[in-house]
Structure 1
């Protein structure tokens, strides 16, 4: 069956929903497609449920950090996983139905299945053929494959958030934010945790000095971290799994083995577009994703793209929202809007949290001033019972502008927004120093980070 539409959206995640939100007011005919539950990664199997797990872990750990300092228990608490998973599901189970109702109320036709291009303006979904004046690709991302022997025995980050019985011993493969965040959760559940990372530095893209301090905080929490250990194989045995990793030194190379009850693929996520048959539509893509310009147009002027499937911007929910808004403005209004990625912050929800915005290195340029503060003894850190906290702010002195900011410590994910706002709105560093914040808070510490 062939149906014609003004706009076809492939993907019901953040970017797709953002464009779909204009359907009712536009008066145009929309279709939306998804092969999984409606809603996308963030609310169902990504940042939102992950933050629920991390929040309870943080609350439990906060109690334990303050034992002997007035906390209401005398012995350490552990996260009770069964009830935490049930709590998490109260956020996720009803969301697909709510999303479908929202699309129906807006008059959007819904399709389910894996879509692919037949030609430059036609998409096939099962037995349905959809022709669109414009097509918006918002297919998101999926767990990265490691292409190693025994990979089928590994648990993905999506599956990790659904396990019923928590394992006693877990190995996380990869040293990115997925492994670090879930490792901190697992440790507060009571598991023995090991992270195996292929290179020397964890959390690529984050500030080196603050990452090193976070590694110390992780190890102090009982998380074992081994770098320069690329995993080469996973074997299944009678009593769990055997993980083999190659360890190289200047003089020799050896295979080291580790036992675990569960092995989690925490090696990150990649754009999900490989079966779209982009070549049929003349849409170009590279290793980092679908290639788009600042207006979110692909190489096919009929096709736009946004969110994690694109090669532009960080894989973050706010970025997907921004790109969906830009695509909507250009498809519906022809406004010529362009995506501006200035001052977009990110955070790793470990204990403590690491948050970042802008550059992390001054690149030996004399116009930059780097201000590092060890905040371990500051009142806001001690009050939270934490031992590790710091900040690094990079200022372009020729313009008195914030070029980068990095915070490790309590409420870092909130405080970083002040620096992000300053960067995005072009505020001067001296403007921030004039701010009067509520006290005593982490934001009131900002004046002393500068």
Structure 2
């Protein structure tokens, strides 16, 4: 059998990989794409989108609980089975629709993870394939726990497919996934425990706002075990026993289900990158400003799998894909990624969001700045829905009056933070923001009182 040859071979069918494959195919190049899982990537199939659908029901339960006695006389009944069926409306059609879209553009599809043979050759589905350019867009996958009993926990993918919720759950890890899923589970009536090695969750976020979130999470029933490293998981007759070392002391916890939410790592283990002379680290493929491999000029990497300055965010992955396409096709648009302010949100209830610098980072960069930090549950937008917590912290440059960073905790922080993104990208100083007319009363309008 002869060697197949492609102008561009893409590994990964998520946001980044699809965008490169489609643009190159539309430009007339011979393109192939491969994925060892269902086509469409993590976000649409088993990540952001289905997670946000599940969060939707907890928003209703949360709002009803807060308004009980203030217009709500009885709590709505929640059906996990019906919710999962509804979630399927968003996920079940994704793989087939993705393949049809790619097929209509003449893109050859492979359903296996390729392996490098040399710098310009891979093996996939038993075929030898040669390429001019190869794009790695495989994203990330859950990190395997290096402990006895690591086969017992389910992962985030499995949580999103649970046919019914167990009575109790232990989440190992208090990052984005652990915190978001813990908030979903506890509001659906599950007894929830979260274990983490750190002294607090979400270490990328402002510590003061994280403290408020932890206190509120405990109030709704989540139990936290911090400074504890899980060392073993045992299967019992009905439950699982999680054994941890907490400050040198052995502690044990039992639950009907254990979830590995300890973090995600680049999905590159099956590619045999060494044979392709593709440098990498535990942070992903080593790339230059063009998102080109530093060791193999024929290879690019974009999205979560690239060790770039970008956060692992879906919108950023698509933008990195555009940079890669620009380099491959020699297009008249930026070929080096200039990273704009990148917002990030934890979709707990309340949401925790930030964009820009923290106080520590602002000090390290030598800014002369002022900080506005308050907890304001008595502000109208919070008070009208009987919200228990509403807090913010903003960092403004005294010299330029520009916003350097914004940190929010509220039920609408995931939306409100975008106002600060626009202000920072548009270089709007605080005086300009204060002079604008926003709708009233609205969450967005509150930003004028935060600076």
> Is 1:127 the equivalent of 2:119?
no
How far apart are residue 46 of structure 1 and its match?
Answer: 0.4
Tell me, yes or no, if the aligned pair for 2:376 and 2:389 is still in contact at 8 Å. Answer: yes
Alignment partners' CA distance in 1, 2:186 and 2:205: 23
Tell me, yes or no, if the aligned pair for 2:11 and 2:113 is still in contact at 8 Å. Answer: no
Structure 1 partner of 2:164: 165
Structure 2 partner of 1:304: 300
1:291-370 to structure 2, matched below 5 A, reads 291-299=286-294, 300-312=296-308, 313-335=310-332, 337-362=335-360, 363-364=362-363, 365=366, 367-370=368-371
- CA offset digits 1:20-59 (Å, max 9, x no partner): 2313430111111111100010000001000000111111
How far apart are residue 315 of structure 1 and its match?
Answer: 1.1
Aligned length: 444
Q: Secondary structure at the match of 1:149?
A: coil
Q: Secondary structure at the match of 1:245?
A: strand
Moved more, 278-287 or 356-365: 356-365
How far apart are residue 126 of structure 1 and its match?
Answer: 2.0
Tell me, yes or no, if the aligned pair for 1:12 and 1:32 is still in contact at 8 Å. Answer: yes
Tell me, yes or no, if the aligned pair for 1:64 and 1:77 is still in contact at 8 Å. Answer: no
Structure 2 partner of 1:394: 395
Structure 2 partner of 1:110: 109
Q: Secondary structure at the match of 1:422?
A: helix
- CA offset digits 1:147-185 (Å, max 9, x no partner): 011110001011111011210011101110101100010
Alignment partners' CA distance in 2, 1:270 and 1:431: 42
How far apart are residue 90 of structure 1 and its match?
Answer: 1.0
> Is 1:264 the equivalent of 2:262?
no
* 1:255 pairs with one of 250, 253, 257: 250
Tell me, yes or no, if the aligned pair for 2:116 and 2:123 is still in contact at 8 Å. Answer: yes
Q: Secondary structure at the match of 2:290?
A: coil
Q: Secondary structure at the match of 1:134?
A: strand
> Is 1:273 the equivalent of 2:268?
yes
- CA offset digits 1:85-140 (Å, max 9, x no partner): 11111111111000000001111111111111111111210212221111110011
Alignment partners' CA distance in 2, 1:78 and 1:382: 25
Alignment partners' CA distance in 2, 1:117 and 1:69: 63
Alignment partners' CA distance in 2, 1:384 and 1:412: 15
Alignment partners' CA distance in 1, 2:269 and 2:193: 32
Structure 2 partner of 1:50: 51
Structure 2 partner of 1:187: 186
Q: Secondary structure at the match of 1:297?
A: coil
How far apart are residue 217 of structure 1 and its match?
Answer: 1.1
Please, what TM-score do these two structures have when normalized by structure 1?
0.96
Alignment partners' CA distance in 2, 1:123 and 1:399: 52
How far apart are residue 78 of structure 1 and its match?
Answer: 5.0
How far apart are residue 337 of structure 1 and its match?
Answer: 1.7
Alignment partners' CA distance in 2, 1:23 and 1:284: 25
- CA offset digits 1:205-245 (Å, max 9, x no partner): 11111111111110111111121111111100002101111
How large is the Cα RMSD of the aligned pairs? 1.4
How far apart are residue 292 of structure 1 and its match?
Answer: 1.0
Alignment partners' CA distance in 1, 2:159 and 2:125: 30
Tell me, yes or no, if the aligned pair for 2:24 and 2:325 is still in contact at 8 Å. Answer: no
How far apart are residue 378 of structure 1 and its match?
Answer: 0.9
Gaps of 5+ in 1: none
Alignment partners' CA distance in 1, 2:321 and 2:415: 24
Alignment partners' CA distance in 1, 2:175 and 2:11: 28
Q: Secondary structure at the match of 1:234?
A: strand
Q: 1:197 to 1:78 in 2, by over 3 A?
A: farther
Alignment partners' CA distance in 1, 2:182 and 2:79: 16
Alignment partners' CA distance in 2, 1:330 and 1:124: 25
Moved more, 43-52 or 58-67: 58-67
> Is 1:415 the equivalent of 2:416?
yes
Alignment partners' CA distance in 2, 1:57 and 1:130: 48
Alignment partners' CA distance in 2, 1:347 and 1:396: 23
1:428-439 to structure 2, matched below 5 A, reads 428-439=429-440
> Is 1:385 the equivalent of 2:383?
no
Q: Secondary structure at the match of 2:134?
A: strand
Q: 1:149 to 1:78 in 2, by over 3 A?
A: farther
Please, what TM-score do these two structures have when normalized by structure 2?
0.96
How far apart are residue 66 of structure 1 and its match?
Answer: 0.6
Alignment partners' CA distance in 1, 2:265 and 2:432: 39
Alignment partners' CA distance in 2, 1:355 and 1:129: 46
